[in-house]
């Protein structure tokens, strides 16, 4: 019996030795896979709105103005919840929003409440005007601090209400922000030079802020007629 036990121990040791490489490779693959999932979540971005440049005109005095159409989508879809057309002075437009970014651990874990950044559009304005003179990009009910388009649920949760009603507290008090798991609470206003016929995609990074990128390739834009000047 003793020789058989000894033989089993030796056999087990030999098997462990020759399969160690496979176990190491399997563990490395597992770790790489988990890291990839975390990176995917961190770098994931969600389409939140589009801004179409209908035309850019220039008056006799050389001043530009942009005719734009803004469309915001229901979270996680391309179902429009707000569409608005307007004219802004200048040839560059800014999109102003409040953005809340949560601690990276919540994003990595895919936390249900804090696993992605939150955004509240405020206004759009041109480079030839003051921000406060811009066009509002939301509708709101008088009895709620959260515009309809920014609500995750039809009836805003206590968490949502607290985020937006205390936004500026979180923005200016690091301790309050940390207690709520918030990494950054700030206003953002990315901007681009308007190109007639272009549609600019507004995306929100899961662990970052608001980004504006063109949707239509240059090859398509080059085939379009030039923007018409304003009548004299």
Query: Model-level pTM?
Result: 0.71
Angle, vertex CA 191, rays to CA 44 and CA 212, nearest 5:
25
Residue whose entry in the numeric block shows the structure tokens 């874990």: 109
Q: For the chain, which residues score pLDDT lower than 50?
A: 4, 32, 35-43, 142, 230-232
Contact 185, 100 (CB under 8 A): yes
Residue range 122-154, pLDDT digits in tens: 999 999 999 999 999 976 554 555 655 555 555
What would the pLDDT profile of 58-84 be if each residue is shown by its tens digit?
A: 988 899 999 999 999 887 778 888 899
Is residue 139 within 8 A of residue 151, CB to CB? The reply is no
Closest CA to 222 of 189, 197, 205, 199: 197
**Domain ranges within the chain, ordered by starting residue:** 1-43, 46-221
**Burial category of 68 from C-beta neighbours within 10 Å (exposed 0-12, middle 13-18, buried 19 and up):** buried
What's the confidence (pLDDT) of residue 42?
42
Coil vs helix vs strand at 201: strand
């Amino acid at each position: 019996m003793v020789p058989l036990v000894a033989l089993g121990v030796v056999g087990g040791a030999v098997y462990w030795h020759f399969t160690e490489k496979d176990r190491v490779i399997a563990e490395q693959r597992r770790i790489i896979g988990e890291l990839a999932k975390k990176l995917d979540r961190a770098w994931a971005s969600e389409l939140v709105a589009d801004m179409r440049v209908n035309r850019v005109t220039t008056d006799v005095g050389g001043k530009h103005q942009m005719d734009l159409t803004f469309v915001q989508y229901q979270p996680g879809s391309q179902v429009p919840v707000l569409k608005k057309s307007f004219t802004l002075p200048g040839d560059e437009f800014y999109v102003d929003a409040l953005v809340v970014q949560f601690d990276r651990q919540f994003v990595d874990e895919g936390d249900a409440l804090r696993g992605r950044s939150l955004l509240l559009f405020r206004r759009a304005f041109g480079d030839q005007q003051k921000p406060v003179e811009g066009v509002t990009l939301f509708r709101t009910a008088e009895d709620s601090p959260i515009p309809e388009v920014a609500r995750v649920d039809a009836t805003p949760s206590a968490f949502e209400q607290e985020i937006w009603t205390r936004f500026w507290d979180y923005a200016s008090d690091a301790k309050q922000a940390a207690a709520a798991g918030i990494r950054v609470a700030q206003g953002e206003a990315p901007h681009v030079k308007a190109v007639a016929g272009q549609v600019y995609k507004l995306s929100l990074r899961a662990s970052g802020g608001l980004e504006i990128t063109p949707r239509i390739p240059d090859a398509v834009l080059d085939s379009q007629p030039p923007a018409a000047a304003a009548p004299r």
